[in-house]
Amino acid sequence: MLRRFGYPTETNSLFIALVDELATGVFPAAIMAATYCGVASFVAYRLESLLLSVLVLSGTILGGSKCLVKRCHQRALRNRSWTRQRASRWERVHTGFTLGFATHIGCVVACGLLASDPALPILVTGLVFGYCSGTVTRIAFRPFVAGAAIGIATVPAIGAAILRGDMTSLAIATMFTIFLFGGFETIRYLYLNTRRQIILRHDMASLAKNDPLTRLLNRLGLREAFRGVVAEARGHAIAVHCLDLDGFKPINDRYGHAAGDLLLQAIADRLLALAPTRAAVARVGGDEFVIVHGPLLQPGEAERLAQQIDHAIAEPFLIQGHEVRVGTSIGIATAPPGSLELDPLMAAADAELYRAKEGKAGAGLRAARPASGLRPDRQGNAAS
């Protein structure tokens, strides 16, 4: 729908971030609900209309319920594994309450403008302008919701002013129409501006946690992802693989840094393809990589992954028309979640990596020794 009306498409992360913004603004929503209640009650009293009294009650309930929806949305944001589908459900809920409340605003404003009491048009004009300005500034990041809301609130007012037929009313109708289209343009501007800010914020966060060359995690991103792996392990062992490439420097020297960068990117792709689901894959140095994964549910699972990585990296790479080969040395450290932090595990894996390098000629891959303060368990992992 966005592309149909000239708006750029939204990625899943951008869509979720924009919908999250709907949870904000509880206090302005409460102020608008109270204002509606006061103005609509006065209009219903002056016109002695039972129908308007019903609209006052239902509109006030809608306005108050919208505040509760925002509060519930805020609580849901604290405990989430958000998906686009879940965000879409929240957007539909907000849309229903927003458009329902806008319908009440439009009805009350139309009744006020058609009334013979000269005070009522002034009150309802203030009400519709206050509502539309608040809607434009508070929910422009969902442009179709904001645009539909101000249209529903304003079009009945325009129609009522035209029905009155006098010059003043026609001038009011003209002013409302101009402001309505101005509101649409303001919504578009604010949406695109908010979109750019969120994309920039996401890009900055990504740059802070990812290696710009391979797009793998960097040390900061790995530290954050490690906590997620520990949580996913749910009491089972986890493993840290430290990898260092053998023969990378001669390729870099012979074919140049650009070829070396392409090789690192190709290696990163192979590591991502081999890594288990929910594993964290990082580049922590020039040709140094780390894989953290868990849970380890079978004996020798970490060693098998190391063998798969060794075989995959040993396969030739086609870089700038040249077939190149590199090897890898791997150190492994395993431990039950909670018994170690990331740094001791990486230190243990690094120690095994350098032992593997020293004995590369005949030793091949080695299983890691437990980190300091750990002892081997029956499965070859480390236990506290």
For residue 372, give the CATH number of its domain. Answer: 3.30.70.270
pLDDT of residue 332: 92
The pLDDT assigned to 188 comes to 92
Residue 202 CB partners (closer than 8 Å, separation 6+): 13, 14, 17
Question: Which of residues 209, 244, 277 is at a domain's end?
Answer: 209
Asked if residue 180 and residue 34 are part of one domain, the reply reads yes
Confidence check: pLDDT of 371 > 90: no
Residues 113 and 228 in one domain: no
214 part of a folded domain: no
Residue 162 placed within a domain: yes
Give mean pLDDT, residues 261-278: 92
pLDDT at position 5 is 54
Q: How many domains does the chain have?
A: 2
Do 76 and 178 lie in one domain? The reply is: yes
Do 330 and 372 lie in one domain? The reply is yes
HEC profile of the chain: CCHHHCCCCCCHHHHHHHHHHHHCCHHHHHHHHHHHHHHHHHHHHHHCCHHHHHHHHHHHHHHHHHHHHHHHHHHHHHCCCCCHHHHHHHHHHHHHHHHHHHHHHHHHHHHHHHCCCCHHHHHHHHHHHHHHHHHHHHHCCCHHHHHHHHHHHHHHHHHHHHHHCCHHHHHHHHHHHHHHHHHHHHHHHHHHHHHHHHHHHHHHHHHHHECCCCCCECHHHHHHHHHHHHHHHCCCEEEEEEEEEECHHHHHHHHCHHHHHHHHHHHHHHHHHHCCCCCEEEECCCCEEEEEEEEECCCCHHHHHHHHHHHHHHCCEEECCEEECCEEEEEEEEECCCCCCHHHHHHHHHHHHHHHHHCHHHHCCCCCCCCCCCEECCCCCEEC
- Does residue 241 sit in the same domain as residue 151? no
Checking if the pLDDT of 379 tops 50, the result is no
At residue 374, the pLDDT reads 35
- Distance in angstroms (rounded) separating the CA atoms of residues 171 and 154: 14
| pLDDT at residue 334 greater than cutoff 50 | yes
Which region among 80-84, 245-249, 266-270 has the lowest average model confidence (pLDDT)? 80-84
Is the domain of 185 the same as that of 203? yes
Q: Are residues 78 and 119 in the same domain?
A: yes
Taking 50 as the threshold, does the pLDDT of residue 370 lie above it? Answer: no
Q: What is the pLDDT of residues 156-209, one digit of tens each?
A: 999 999 998 889 889 989 999 999 999 999 999 999 999 999 888 877 877 788
259 has a pLDDT exceeding 80:
yes
Domain end residue (candidates: 209, 243, 273): 209
Calculate mean pLDDT across residues 65-87: 86
User: Phi, psi (5° rounding) for residue 180?
Assistant: -65, -50
Does 360 lie in the same domain as 254? yes
162 plus 300 within the same structural domain: no
In a domain, 375, yes or no: yes
Segment 367-380 mean pLDDT: 37
The reply to whether 353 falls in a domain is yes
- Domain with 32 in it: 3-209
Question: What tens digit of pLDDT does each residue of 270-317 get?
Answer: 999 998 888 999 999 889 999 999 888 888 889 999 999 999 999 999
The answer to whether residue 119 sits within a structural domain is yes
Note whether 293 and 195 are same-domain residues. Answer: no
Residue 105 lies in a domain: yes
pLDDT in tens, 211-234: 889 989 998 889 888 888 888 888
State whether 364 and 335 are in the same domain. yes
Q: Is residue 44 part of a domain?
A: yes
Mean of pLDDT over the chain: 86
Question: Last residue of some domain: 187, 209, 231?
Answer: 209
Residue 270: per-residue pLDDT: 94
- Confidence at residue 166, expressed as pLDDT on a 0 to 100 scale: 86
Residue 361 pLDDT more than 60? no
Highest mean pLDDT among 6-15, 24-33, 77-86, 338-347 belongs to: 24-33
158 and 39 within one domain:
yes
The least confident of 220-234, 240-254, 322-336, 351-365 is 351-365
Asked if the structure places residue 66 within a domain, the reply is yes
